[in-house]
Structure 1
Amino acid sequence: MQLRQTLGWIGLVAAGFVWSISNNATAQEWPSRPVTIVVPYPAGGPNDTLARVVAKKLGDSFGPAFIVENRVGAGGNIGANAVAKSKPDGYTLLFTSTGPQANNKFLYPTLPYDPVKDFSSVVLIAKTPVIFMARAKAPFATFAEMVTFAKANPGKLSIGTSGHGSVSHIASEYLQAVTGIRFLNVPFAGSSPLIQGLLSNDLDLVSDLVTSHVPMLKEKQYKALLMAAYKHSSSLPDVPIFTDVGMARFEATAWSALMAPANTPTAIVTRINAAVNDWIKSPEGQKQIASLEMMAEGGSPADLDTFISNEIDKWGPIIKKAGIVAK
């Protein structure tokens, strides 16, 4: 009996050793053919643009092409699910964001994938913060003045967001909850109608990702009140963040991250992580990310695991309290 147990343990150790050798060999051979990076959003948006830059850099680093494929629909769930169900061999990656990996599990009654268990984290690349803005002729110039006006005129101010269930919509609900004010919520499809709403003075306020608004804000065509970030924007350094106005530290961003199917070999994940981090830290990477009005991040796969867990813990209660569901 003891001999059989000993032989059994030897067999298990040997099997693990063989698996380790096989895993390392696979990682060393990777990539021997093109790699697909799935973007679960339409082409042309900031996340897609950054994905194509990263894909080009990874292709330059590893040889075979990294090809961006847009698989859109259901708030990013279709693309995320496609990657979750893919073979974990390093040849299919997901360039994902806040919705598919955090918020959608609260917005949709069910998901066809588990945003945590079905993926291996690779690297957090960048964040795009939400900014709260006011029309040029609004009867207030600062965040504090806006709160005072809103409390004196409950329900009078309208706020446009970039879509029902978007991070800008959820961030506006958080702002109302912590300040005790109420806005008339007006969801739009994207940033362009929000810009027109502010320029025409049809909207009092807008909650949106900062990306599309920097030129108009610099030209004072409308007013920046508050940035939902942990640090000040390099393009708009004078815009206050939550701690500047006496509120608790808070961040609302659409972030960009690379994920792989669960059980993708660790050695492959490590190689991709190192290559992307090298690019993020480079002057070229810093410049390209800043040109998209994003904030560069980087870090380890474990850092991304922690970040996503914190995002889920942060947004879940806000979405549930506001009663937001996908439409």
Structure 2
Amino acid sequence: MEALLSTAGLLVILAIVLGLIIFLYFIPVGLWITAFFSGVRLRLVRDLVGMRLRKVPPHLIVRPLITAYKAGLELSPPQLEAHYLAGGHVQNVVRALISADKANIDLTFERAAAIDLAGRDVFEAVQVSVNPKVIETPPVTAMAKDGIQVRAIARVTVRANIDRLVGGAGEETILARVGEGIVTTIGSADSHKAVLENPDSISKVVLSKGLDSGTAFEILSIDIADVDVGENIGAKLQADQAEADLKIARAKAEERRAAAVAREQEMRAAVQEQRARVVAAEAEIPLAIAEAFRKGNLGVMDYYNLRNIQADTRMRDALGGGETPPSGQE
């Protein structure tokens, strides 16, 4: 009997402990007490238990609510809970609202929640709006009209524009526009010396273009941090052009040489053909002479006169440097 009573008492204690754990889980009394003494009035069942049932961690709503109340902001639990359920960062939004309120920046909870849900860090945006930041462009290379490269690095001081944070372009657009403005300004300069003498002219021209239009920032200043002279692109282009002209001239000369060689070979072939014809014609002379002897058209004296003429011709050719005909033609 005593064993049954002890077992029953143990079960009762376990049931009480388990019930207490479940009660404290669904009803965070400690958090409710903290909120109560902080001045935030919460309904224990409807607010805190309702958050548990909606799977919203109460401390992520109550603690930012207490912070906002102490900073003098009027926020309600449903507002913060709705923002959390939408995937927002409640603590970040509350910190941004407090910073904006202290800096006299007109920022409502709805706008801050929209900025946060848009994927931007609303607290950082408020900080940048209060304390502008400097972003540095990568080295921008451009060429002046005299063909000399100029490299410039600019530091852009920007301030966040709260009204354009939703839908406005980011830092990448600012850097791209500033780089384009630097290239245009350097390219319009008559000489690279003018750019080196007055680097502030670049910032003045670029700043006057209104590059922050449609972005989430307001450009306060553009300062040229460094200006260096690069390569002589004009001279390099001229050298490349001269090299290209030289290659073209060489190609044309090679073409003319090949044509001359072809013509020479054609002439040699024509000369050889003529020589072959002469040799063939000369080979027929003895046959013609013999035929003339047989027919009686050529006498012995005529033949000797012909031989004398041939000998005289060979002698004249030898004296004049000409070629002697083959002995077989005599």
TM-score by length of 2: 0.19
Relative contact order (C-alpha < 8 Å, sep 6+): which is higher? 1
TM-score by length of 1: 0.19
Name the one with the larger strand percent.
1
Bigger Rg, which one: 2
